[in-house]
Structure 1
Amino acid sequence: MSAASCLLNEDQFLCSICLDVFTDPVSTPCGHNFCKKCITDHWDVNLPYNCPNCKEIFFSRPQLRVNTFISEMAAQFRQSAQQEASSSNSLGQQIPEPGEVPCDVCTGTKLKALKSCLVCLVSYCHTHLEPHLKMSGLKRHQLIDPVENLEGRMCEKHDKLLELFCKNDQMCVCVLCSVTDHRTHDVVPLKEGYEGKKAELGKTEADIQQIIQKRRLKIEEIKQSVELSDKNADREMAEGVQVFSALKERVERSEAELIHTLKEKQRETQKQAEGFIKELQQEISELEKRSSEVEQLSHSEDHLHLLQNFTSLNAAPPTKDWTGVRVHPPSYEGTVVRAVKQLEETLSEQMKKLISELELRRVQQYEVDVTLDPDTASAWLILSDDGKQVKSGDVKKNLPDNPERFSSGAHVLAKQGFSLGRFYYEVQIKGETGWGLGVVKESMNRKKTLELNAQNKFCVIGSSFENWYCALDYPLLVLTPMSKPEKVGVFVDYEEGLVSFYDVDTACLLHSFTGWSFTEKLYPYFSTERGDGGESASLIISTVKHPECKKC
């Protein structure tokens, strides 16, 4: 027996309290049926006792008896309904989930709709859709994927199907609307309007995806900034710990030296005092011995014995004159002050050294790979195959006179030019007596001898003799480094207009050009002179070594 063919309809198997198929149905004295639990719970909270259906009042709580007939019929109905649902599922039909469209024709348990008809304005499940698939008249109806509120697809004014689109008012209209209110408007079929809007949505989607991508890139940029910040903070903290550890070690060493100095003075005073005390105690011992002998002789009754020993015992034994002997406590006054002052000087020097090392390591972060450009090298120069070394030879080569090449002197530029940001490179100059390093502007005249003047400034330092160095600015500035540099680091901050030169081995700043306003590309510059023996030593572009923080 199926739920559809049952003589009793579904409503007769539903409890009027829980609105579900009966579970343990019982009958009241008035003849109405309820789930046993439902009526029991109802009477537990509602007084006086009454029937929820007919409102008949009972003066005492009725005795409930199971309605066997209803119980069996409800069980059969539940089983039949389950079988029907199972059969529908086997045919591909399902009970609609929340948000899905149910069939408008199904009675009792409604199945999931497969299509909606825009002519009938009804949604159909698989079973009820069959006439639209078989009957010739219904086959002409337009079927779409199931949607709710089919009435919304009808014109409220003319009760006709909305099958046109007005481009002027951007709204869907019916056929009557197109010849009345919209007769002068640009009205097209829904499909054409749909295709146009779909294309616009595609563009909108592309624009949205582009915006999303930009936001994602911005997120990555922010994350990278945070990572860089963390990395820089970690590096600074590590360097800070090393610096302050070195300073604390210096302070502790000075403290130990001060304590050692004071204790040494203390020990010397104690040693001197102990020596004097020992001598005094020895003299006291000798004097006490003589005093005892004198006392014994003075009490002697032997006249001859006293007279014979009187001369040797009457004189005091020889002793040291202690009148001028003093233990002079050392002067400790000013010892701590002198130690602190010396520590201050030491720390000042150490701080300068540590700061120089930190500054050099900071600019070394901006290391760039620099190689020499043979197209700019003057004919006297010899370049290595890897573009990392240059020296001056004794034979002038026959080279094409291209616009980039220096026509005189011994100059060469790097291939890499820079017009923003910061960059740093290092050059080994050991063994060179004549050299030049720095940066020059792209438009400098390479066909004339380099001249120092206010109009032709370039940031270069160099040495033309063994022991003196100059900054090629206007006017010429002579530098006096503490020691002869063997490796020079060049740092440029384009936006700040800063060019600095460092002695890499000592971390000392040799010179800085400041306050410049760069407006064109800058190129690393190299120059070397021939020595007395013909060829010169090589200028070598070296890889930056990143040493750990050094402790003094």
Structure 2
Amino acid sequence: MAAPSAAARLRLLAGRSVASCLAARQRRAVRVPAGRSFVSTSSGSYLQFRLDERTAHSSLDLFKKDTGVIYRMLGLDPSHVPKNPERFRDWAVVFGDEQISAGRHYWEVTVKKSQEFRLGAAEATMCRDDCVGTNGSSWVFGYAQRKWFAMTKNKMVPVTLVGKPERVGILLDFEAGVVALVDAEKPRIIHTIRAQLKDPVCPAFGLWNGELLTHSGLEVPEGLK
């Protein structure tokens, strides 16, 4: 499938109907294997995940033991990718392979080699016909056209005073309903999305340029506790 321009893609993503995703969910429900469920970071057992190839769109390749993802403009022919109901079909999205159902968790992402991406969290059973940020079951921070934004329910909110750091953090507080973008160097919270978190969620990533590298197994920084 041909890759649209950045501007055209933003228009497509902003205009995509949540109703169409709900209809698709009724036709093809996503059944996700249970896996580990992280409930606390206080004991020293910090969230550790890899990217889940079963969910990766056919334009995405995983590398460095599935902690990194690279975007291939042409990608693989979808017919050459193993059929899997967990795989994203229309958008270049991949999930982490762990589910979070309680507690406070933190991970970082090296973003210096990409000019267009989204990162945050999404419900493990999110509709695979939609893109992260365009429905009420995903909460992400994106970068495109040299600008940051927060996005959920198909609404973009500009995020200022970020620049283009080499690495950023994501803080997720399940009970408080918080997904936050973190300045990994300070550390400090740059912007917060309020979320109604009820069902298990996964780290979520969208990528349309370059590559991302994830860093998990990290303690919540002292300044954010």
Instruction: Establish whether TM, by shorter chain, passes 0.5.
Output: yes
- 1:487 to 1:495, Cα distance in 2 relative to 1, 3 A: same
CA distance in 2, matches of 1:449, 1:369: 24
**What's the CA shift string for 1:238-261, capped at 9, x where partnerless?**
xxxxxxxxxxxxxxxxxxxxxxxx
Change (3 A) 1:438 1:449: closer
Structure with higher RCO (Cα < 8 A, 6+ apart): 2
**Residue of structure 2 in register with 1:368 after alignment:** 47
Partner of 2:215 in structure 1?
542
Amino acid at match of 1:491: L
Would you tell me which structure has more strand in proportion to its own residues?
A: 2
Deviation at 1:394, TM superposition (A): 2.8
1:529 equivalent among 191, 208, 215: 208
| SS of residue paired to 1:476 | strand
CA contact (8 A) 1:401 1:407 kept: no
Whether the 8 Å CA contact 1:367–1:425 is kept in 2: the answer is: no
Shift of residue 470, structure 1, vs aligned partner: 0.5
Q: TM-score, normalised by structure 1?
A: 0.30
**Pick from 145, 167, 172: which aligns with 1:492?**
172
Q: Distance in 2 between matches of 1:497 and 1:445?
A: 21
- What's the CA shift string for 1:388-439, capped at 9, x where partnerless? 1101013322212311000022110011011112221111111210111100
8 Å Cα contact 2:187-2:221 kept in structure 1: no
> Residues 162 and 190 of structure 2 are in contact (CA less than 8 Å); yes or no, is this contact kept in structure 1?
no
Query: Which position in structure 1 is the counterpart of 2:20?
Result: none
Q: Give the match for residue 31 of structure 2.
A: none
Could you tell me which of 438, 444, 447 is aligned with 2:126? 444
**C-alpha deviations, 1:310-330, integer Å up to 9, x for none?**
xxxxxxxxxxxxxxxxxxxxx
Shift in alpha-carbon separation, 1:527–1:433, aligned structure 2, 3 A: same
Alignment partners' CA distance in 1, 2:200 and 2:221: 31
User: Residue 383 of structure 1 aligns with which residue?
Assistant: 62
- What stretches of structure 2 of length at least 5 have no aligned partner? 1-40
SS of corresponding position for 2:55: coil
Secondary structure in 1 aligned to 2:99?
coil
Contact 2:46 2:219 in 1 (8 A): no
Across the aligned residues of Structure 1 and Structure 2, the Cα RMSD in angstroms comes to 2.7
Look up the SS of the partner of 2:180 in the other structure. strand
Alpha-carbon distance change, 470 to 546 in structure 1, aligned in 2, over 3 angstroms: closer
Which residue in the other structure is 2:110 paired with?
Answer: 428
CA distance in 2, matches of 1:402, 1:446: 10
1:479 CA drift (Å): 0.5
Give the structure 2 partner of residue 399 of structure 1. 81
Structure 2 partner of 1:103: none
Matches within 5 A, 1:498-537: 498-514=178-194, 516-530=195-209, 536=210
Q: How does 1:249-328 map to 2 (within 5 A)?
A: none
Distance 1:395 1:511, change over 3 A: same
5 Å matches for 1:94-113?
none
Change (3 A) 1:501 1:449: closer
Partner of 2:138: 458
Report deviation, 1:451.
Answer: 6.4
Bigger mean CA offset, 419-428 vs 373-382: 419-428
Say how many residue pairs are matched: 177
**1:451–1:430 Cα change, 3 Å:** closer
TM-score, reference length from structure 2: 0.70
Q: In the TM superposition, what is the alpha-carbon distance from 1:478 to its structure 2 partner?
A: 0.5
The verdict on how the C-alpha distance between 1:386 and 1:512 changes in structure 2, with shifts beyond 3 A counting, is same
* Contact 2:118-2:143 at 8 Å conserved across structures: yes
Distance 1:399 1:472, change over 3 A: same
- Work out which of the two has the higher radius of gyration on C-alpha atoms and give 1 or 2: 1
Name structure 1 gaps, 5 residues minimum.
Answer: 1-361, 531-535
Q: In proportion to residue count, which structure has more helix?
A: 1
C-alpha separation in 1, matches of 2:222 and 2:138? 34
Q: CA shift at 1:546, angstroms?
A: 9.3
Residue 369 (structure 1) shift: 1.1
Residue type of the alignment partner of 2:174: Y
Residue 370 of structure 1 contacts residue 425 of structure 1 at CA under 8 Å; is this kept in 2? no
Equivalent AA in structure 2 for residue 396 of structure 1 = G
Q: Which amino acid aligns with 2:175?
A: E
CA shift for structure 1 position 508? 3.1
Residue of 463, 469, 472 corresponding to 2:148: 469
Equivalent residues in 2 for 1:139-154, closer than 5 Å:
none
- State percent identity of aligned pairs: 27
Deviations, residues 321-354 of structure 1 (Å, cap 9, x unaligned): xxxxxxxxxxxxxxxxxxxxxxxxxxxxxxxxxx
User: Is 1:366–1:422's contact at 8 Å kept on the other side of the alignment?
Assistant: no
Contact 1:413 1:526 in 2 (8 A): yes
Q: Is the 8 A contact 2:118 2:140 kept in 1?
A: yes
Whether the 8 Å contact between 2:132 and 2:206 is mirrored in structure 1 is: no
CA contact (8 A) 1:366 1:424 kept: no
Q: What letter corresponds to residue 176 of structure 2 in structure 1?
A: E
Q: CA deviation at 1:366?
A: 7.3
Q: Tell me: CA distance 1:493–1:548, structure 2 relative to 1, closer, same or farther (3 Å).
A: closer
Q: Equivalents in 1 of 2:171, 2:101: separation in Å?
A: 14
